[in-house]
Chain A
Amino acid sequence: MTPVIFVLVILGLVVGTVAGFALKAPLLPDLITEHGRIIDQQLVLTLYITGAIFAIAQLGLAYLIYKHRHRDGVKASYLQGSTKLEYTWTVATLVLFVGLNLMGQGVWAQMHLNEKPARPVNIEVTAMQFKWIFRYPGKDGNLGARAAEYINPAEGNYVGKDPDDANGDDDFQLLSMSVPYGIPVVVDIRSIDVLHGFAVREMRLKQDAVPGLSVNIPFTVEKDGTLEFPLSGNYAADLDKGELPDALKHELNANKLVWKDKASLRALEPGRVWRLTLDPDSINRPYLVKLENGRLNLYRSWYELACMELCGYGHYQMRSQVNVLSPVEYAEFVEKNSP
């Protein structure tokens, strides 16, 4: 009886686990960066390999449990081992594990070891309890110097921007991050108090922010947005006029997209792509409406940025967001915000 239960439980475990992973749709959150694709490939490859190992090992265990359950009159074999087998599985696992690992080093090198891209968009990320501050270099492309002595909470200068450095004159800082797609970006991640962790799920990016250290990570966002849901009506004509039809509003509401103040709308490519920004004055959540294959789809262009290293009681609410803009929009964004 017991061996049968055991077999059934293990069977349930294997089926349940495999189903849990297989049925999870989507398996991973949306993906928007270039390096993220390689990470995902590596992750999924590992998932297949280890999934097979998992199933074989657990089912093997169940099989042996059943096959060799106690039966009267049966004597166990006096088998003490097999050197040949030991060598075989040692070498096999070594090759498998190390090989798998080496396959992943390319993307690691791309993110950490290779030379940083030439003329990227530089963004300084400053983490503090419990918020993120993003500083942009303005039109000149250069960030002003910073030093702790200039930190001045009264003026909102947590970054410690040197007021006398001319490079900093057109710098501007915001509480959320906007990046262009298709252009390499380098973030300079730092902290002014305790450890924090910069992480955006959809970017497959994670890096601790360490006080006293500044870590540069390059990435390129390769998508302008990720599909949220298809829209049922065709509002193209209204959208081109810059009007948000009530039907669309209802449809968004029905999908739990509610906004507090207002929405702004403009055509990025008239007749084809429109930028819909919800709550432009407070949280600023950019979406895209695209006409594809004769129907409209709603795309999301903003992603949540989370703190991933314990930083105090407010850790769980240390939230910001990354907005993905078109290169043109990004240029306007810099223009608009530069003092």
Chain B
Amino acid sequence: MSSEAAAEHAVHVHQAPTNPIWRYVFSTDHKVIGIQYWILALVSAFVGMGLSVWFRLHLLNQGHVAQLTDQLSLLVEGSADYNAIKAKIDALQTAWYHMEPSQYLGILTMHGTILVFMVLTTAPMGGFGNYFLPIQVGALDMAFPRLNMLSFWLTFLSFVTLMAAFFVPGGSPNAGWTGYPPLSAVPDSQGNGYQGPGGWGQDLWVLSIAIFCFASLVGAINFIVTTLDLRTKGMTLMRMPLTCWAWFVTAILALLSFAVLLVAGLLLLLDRNLGTSFYVPGDLFVSNKLLVDHKGGSPLLFQHLFWFFGHPEVYIAIVPGMGLASHLLSSFARKPVFGYRAMVYAIFGIGVLGFFVWGHHMFQSGMSPYVAVAFSVMTMVVGVPSAIKTFNWLGTIWGGNIRFQSPMLYALGFVSLFVTGGIGGIFLGQNAVDIYFHDTYFVVGHFHMIMGVAAIFGMFAGTVYWFPKVTGKMMNEPLSQAHFWCTFLGVNVIFIVMHLMGLEGHPRRYSGFAFEFLSSDYMVRMHTIVTHTAIFTASAQVLFLINLVYSLAAGKKAGDNPWESTSLEWATTSPPPFENFKDGVLPEVHHGPYEYSVPDAAKDYIMQHDPPEARPATAPAPH
């Protein structure tokens, strides 16, 4: 078969289906699937954010109630002042956003689960990765388009299952996003004699996660095979954009870690429903009686399995953002990535070392204290590649000619947030210091900073950067910038203040202020700042929505390569044709991914598929 014949063949079998159901719903086209994932993540993000605003309001409310109650104790019962304050308290306790303690935990659990799984794990990989990995490596589609469709629909099923947990008898699961047993394993254990959740919600939660594991496994296989097998001619590994490296490493992490979460969930499901006792020790005294149908298990077993998945998972959320940040910093600083190889090694280093640090979530769990020392040292070692990446990002813009368009703003914001969030890790990674910080708001601040917002800034960056490619229209620049500033300011305030609350010892997952040190003026002031800023920041997200809708309807028309970037997605039309490249003829790659400002070159960037001559012989050798 000649190459023309191959191309013809490709075009022939790779035609867009005409029926809209197959084209837009049950599509096997990686671009459609990418958009589906992205929309799923967007919806989930807004649901998750809405929940957080709700419980922030509740918390602020409870802070005031606690302080008013203190005042009350100073007054004479029945006096006018007393009655006034009493009325205020009653009003607060019946506000629409007031929550029962159990409901609070349910909403908190759903918030964490939705955001970690449905947003942080889907959008960077399933969304952007699906759409752009095949195009960036020069392929017509993913290696297994039908499995790709299966991944998405399984993820969707998982999402629906999780949402159902809101509505079943007993309400949402309330054991936290980490779902530690025995609380999650023994339905009776949700509180002494308390008729509350502990029913189906927790089962649906486990089920949803198990389905999610399958979906991620299938997706990971697809990503790895596509990266290694389907690169177009000339796209050597060391010519792949760092985004592709990041997706590749992320896929490996997902492949090896979700397999363990699946087991963690399976055993939990068995413990809950079929009378096994993997996580349930004997002689538990719950709901005022001895539990007789379990014996011998260990709650720590779950924690080991969960965090063996959990730590790689945090990298699954952030690594694609790291790749994209590198890509954008280079593209908008018009400069090669500083230390491309070091970046690749660092991503791999993070991936490999990330499997040996899970115990840092368990320093205080009752795990062997000797093992804790080993985990602690390993944790500090895994901080090194993260630091290397930061240095290289700074190196990339050093000597650049930075264009401050919105994708670059988000990328720079990513770097700043990553630094701030990573620094929390230096405290927590030390087993001795973690004695003080474990399970306080310091941890909450740390992981929201880095995994919550840094990773989400990666998604914002990806959205504005690739929007023109996907839709053929530019997003509105002033709106993007306004959204960036509001969000960047807001999240910094919220989560740095949470670090301060952690320093004061504020425990996480508290729905009220039953402690004296919690209703101190300092704490309540901090809670007030956090809640107010959270409302502000959440409202600012409307700018983003408006921008999406507005740009989709009336955005400026984008050319093929509005940002003057070099990677292959900019070598095709906006939006790309069904077969990604014109007539399904794959481009041939002759250059590295970050050939910006090459000395003596005609333009200030050389695209990957430009002919070899585009790069002057006089220019220094590529990395």
Direct A–B contact in the complex, CB atoms closer than 8 angstroms: yes
State the 3 A-B residue pairs at the shortest beta-carbon distance, nearest first. A212-B281, A148-B283, A112-B369
Q: Please tell me if A213 contacts chain B, counting CB pairs below 8 Å.
A: yes
- Tell me if B285 and A128 are in contact (CB < 8 A): yes
A293-339 residues at the B interface, CB under 8 angstroms: 304, 306-317, 319
Q: Are A211 and B281 in contact (CB under 8 A)?
A: yes
B337 cross-chain contacts in A, Cβ below 8 A:
80-81
Please name all residues of chain B whose beta carbon is closer than 8 Å to the beta carbon of A105 when the two chains form the complex. 373, 376, 431-432
Q: Flag if B395 contacts A81 (CB, 8 Å).
A: yes
Q: Determine the distance from Cα of A34 to Cα of B159 in the docked complex, in whole angstroms.
A: 50
Of the candidates A38, A80, A213, which one forms a contact with B338 in the assembled complex, judged by CB atoms under 8 Å apart?
A80
Is A206 an interface position by the 8 A CB rule? yes
User: Is B555 positioned at the interface, with any CB of A under 8 Å from its CB?
Assistant: no
| A49→B186 CA distance, assembly (Å) | 44
Chain A hits for B290, CB < 8 A: 148-149, 151
B412 in complex: contacting residue of A6, A100, A104, A310, CB < 8 Å: A6
Contact A319 B515 (CB under 8 A): yes
Cross-chain contact B180 with A80 (CB below 8 angstroms): no
B558 at the interface (CB under 8 A from A): no
The reply to whether B500 and A29 contact each other, CB–CB distance below 8 Å, is no
Q: Is the CB of B399 within 8 A of A77?
A: yes
Q: Are B399 and A79 in contact (CB under 8 A)?
A: yes
Nearest B residue to A305 via CB reads B515
The answer to whether A311 and B381 have CB atoms under 8 Å apart is: no
> Is there contact, CB below 8 Å, between B342 and A16?
no
Hey, which chain B residues are within 8 Å of A204, CB to CB?
435-436
Interface residues on B, range: 35 or more
Tell whether, in the assembled complex, residue B102 and residue A313 are in contact, meaning their CB atoms are under 8 Å apart.
yes
Which segment, of A65-73, A117-125, A233-241, A262-270, faces chain B?
Answer: A65-73
Contact with B along A122-140 (1 / 0, CB 8 A): 0000001110000000000
Are A314 and B370 CB-contacts (below 8 A) given A39-B432, A39-B436, A193-B182? no
Which of A19-27, A170-178, A179-187, A221-229 lies at the binding interface? A19-27
B282 / chain A contacts, CB cutoff of 8 Å = 148, 212
Contact A81 B183 (CB under 8 A): no
Tell me which of A24, A78, A129 contacts B191 (CB under 8 A): A129
Interface membership of A232, Cβ < 8 A: no
In the complex, chain B residues 426-476 whose Cβ is within 8 Å of any chain A Cβ:
426-427, 429-433, 435-436, 438-440
Tell me the complex Cα distance, A71–B334, Å: 12
Residues 62 to 102 of chain B near chain A (Cβ within 8 Å): 70, 73-74, 100-102
Would you give 27 A-B contacts (Cβ < 8 Å), ordered by A?
Answer: A28-B436, A46-B426, A50-B426, A64-B400, A68-B400, A69-B402, A74-B401, A78-B598, A79-B398, A81-B392, A85-B391, A94-B381, A97-B384, A105-B376, A195-B299, A201-B505, A204-B435, A206-B364, A207-B364, A210-B299, A256-B70, A258-B74, A306-B507, A308-B364, A312-B191, A314-B192, A316-B513
When distances are taken between beta carbons in the complex, the residues of chain A under 8 Å from B395 are 79, 81-82, 85
Q: Which of B146-154, B415-423, B544-552 contacts A (4 or more CB under 8 A)?
A: B415-423
Closest beta carbon of chain B to A19's beta carbon, Å:
11
CB distance from A156 to the nearest CB of B (A): 13
Residues on the B chain within 8 Å of A199, using CB: 439, 507
B22 within 8 A of partner (CB): no
One of B43-51, B223-231, B481-489 at the interface = B481-489
- Say yes or no: A316 contacts B101, CB within 8 Å: yes
A111 to B372, CA, bound (A): 13
Task: For the A-B complex with A75-B334, A79-B335, A194-B183 known, give 18 more contacts whose Cβ atoms are closer than 8 Å.
Answer: A20-B496, A50-B427, A53-B423, A64-B397, A65-B412, A77-B335, A77-B597, A81-B342, A81-B395, A89-B387, A101-B376, A148-B283, A153-B288, A192-B285, A208-B364, A212-B297, A310-B180, A312-B174
B259 within 8 A of A: no
Q: Are B510 and A316 in contact (CB under 8 A)?
A: yes
Among candidates B70, B416, B431, B510, residue contacting A104 with C-beta atoms closer than 8 Å:
B431
Do the beta carbons of B369 and A210 come within 8 Å of each other?
no
A244 at the interface (CB under 8 A from B): no
CB-CB under 8 A for A197 and B397, given A9-B485, A17-B496, A78-B599: no
Q: At the interface, yes or no: A205 with Cβ under 8 Å from chain B?
A: yes
A40 to B, closest residue via Cβ: B436
Tell me whether A194 and B403 are in contact (CB under 8 A). no
Given A54-B423, A80-B338 in contact, is the A316-B597 Cβ separation under 8 Å?
no
Does the CB pair A10–B383 fall under 8 Å? no
Query: Chain B residue with minimal CB distance to A74?
Result: B401
Q: Is the CB of A210 within 8 A of B183?
A: no
Residue A282 is within 8 A (CB to CB) of chain B in the complex: no
Supposing A76-B597, A93-B384, A148-B285 touch, asked if A313 and B105 sit within 8 A by C-beta, the answer is: yes
Complex alpha-carbon distance, A79 and B598, angstroms: 9
Output the least CB separation between B464 and chain A (Å): 14
A291 within 8 A of B: no
Q: Is the CB of A104 within 8 A of B335?
A: no
- Chain A: residues with Cβ within 8 Å of the partner, total of 104
CB-defined contacts of B394 to chain A, threshold 8 Å: 57, 60-61, 64
* Complex contacts, A307 vs chain B, CB 8 Å: 507
Neighbouring B residues of A5 by C-beta, 8 Å: 485
**How far is it, in angstroms, between the C-alpha of A47 and the C-alpha of B437 when the chains are bound?**
13
Return chain A residues, CB-CB under 8 Å to B370: 113
Q: How far is the CA of A57 from the CA of B397 in the complex (A)?
A: 13
Query: Which of A79, A111, A129, A205 makes the CB contact (< 8 A) with B192?
Result: A129
Q: Give Cα A313–Cα B423 distance, bound, in whole angstroms.
A: 32
Complex CA distance for A112 and B404, rounded to whole angstroms: 52
Whole-angstrom distance between the alpha carbons of A228 and B412 in the complex? 46
For the complex, give the distance between the alpha carbons of A215 and B430 in Å: 20
Q: Which of A16, A24, A316 has the most C-beta atoms of chain B within 10 angstroms of its own C-beta? A: A316
B622 interface residue per 8 A CB criterion: yes
Task: Select from chain A the residue with minimum beta-carbon distance to B622.
Answer: A80
List residues of B (357-416) whose CB comes within 8 Å of A's CBs: 364-366, 369-370, 372-373, 376-377, 379-381, 383-384, 387-388, 390-392, 394-395, 397-404, 409, 412, 415-416
Task: Check if B189 is an interface residue, CB within 8 A of chain A.
Answer: yes
When C-beta atoms are compared, the residue in chain A nearest to B393 turns out to be: A61
The proximity string for B residues 169-185 relative to A, scoring 1 for CB distances below 8 Å and 0 otherwise, is 00000111000111100
A199, B391: Cα distance in complex, Å: 38
Q: CB of B503 within 8 A of chain A?
A: yes
Taking the nearest CB of chain B, how far is it from the CB of A216, in angstroms?
11
List the B side residues contacting A71 at CB < 8 Å.
401
The answer to whether A43 and B381 have CB atoms under 8 Å apart is no
A158–B174 Cα gap in the complex (Å)?
25
**Central interface residue in A29, A57, A112, by most chain B CB within 10 Å:** A57
The reply to whether A81 and B340 form a contact with Cβ atoms under 8 Å apart is: yes
B397's contact among A13, A65, A82, A215, by CB below 8 Å, is which? A65
Q: Is the pair A304, B597 in contact by a Cβ cutoff of 8 Å?
A: no
**A68: chain B residues within 8 A (beta carbon):** 333, 397-402
- Residues of chain B contacted by A246 (CB below 8 angstroms): none
**Contact for B285 among A81, A94, A193, A253, CB less than 8 A:** A193
- Residues of B close to A253: CB separation below 8 A: 74
Instruction: Check: B237 CB closer than 8 A to any chain A CB.
Output: no
By a CB distance below 8 angstroms, the chain B residues around A195 are 180, 182-183, 299
* Alpha-carbon distance between A146 and B403 when the two chains are bound, in angstroms: 71
Q: A81-B338, A100-B380, A313-B105 are in contact. Are A193 and B189 (CB under 8 A)?
A: yes
Which residue of the partner chain A has the closest CB to B291? A193
Closest to A147 in B: B283
How far in angstroms is the closest Cβ of chain A from B199?
A: 14
In the complex, residue of chain A having the shortest beta-carbon distance to the beta carbon of B594: A80
Q: Please measure, in the bound complex, the distance between the C-alpha atom of A67 and the C-alpha atom of B409, giving whole angstroms.
A: 16
Residues of chain B with a CB closer than 8 A to A46's CB: 426-427, 430, 433
Do the beta carbons of B435 and A76 come within 8 Å of each other?
no
B336 at the interface (CB under 8 A from A): yes
Q: Which residue of A lies closest to B109 (CB)?
A: A310
For residue B20, CB closer than 8 A to chain A, the reply is no
Is A42 at the interface (CB under 8 A from chain B)? Answer: yes
Asked if B516 is at the interface of the complex by the 8 Å CB criterion, the answer is: yes
Q: For B70, B335, B423, B436, which residue has the most chain A Cβ atoms within 10 angstroms?
A: B436
Distance from B60 Cβ to chain A, minimum over Cβ atoms (Å): 15
- B285 and A76 contacting across the interface, CB-CB below 8 Å: no
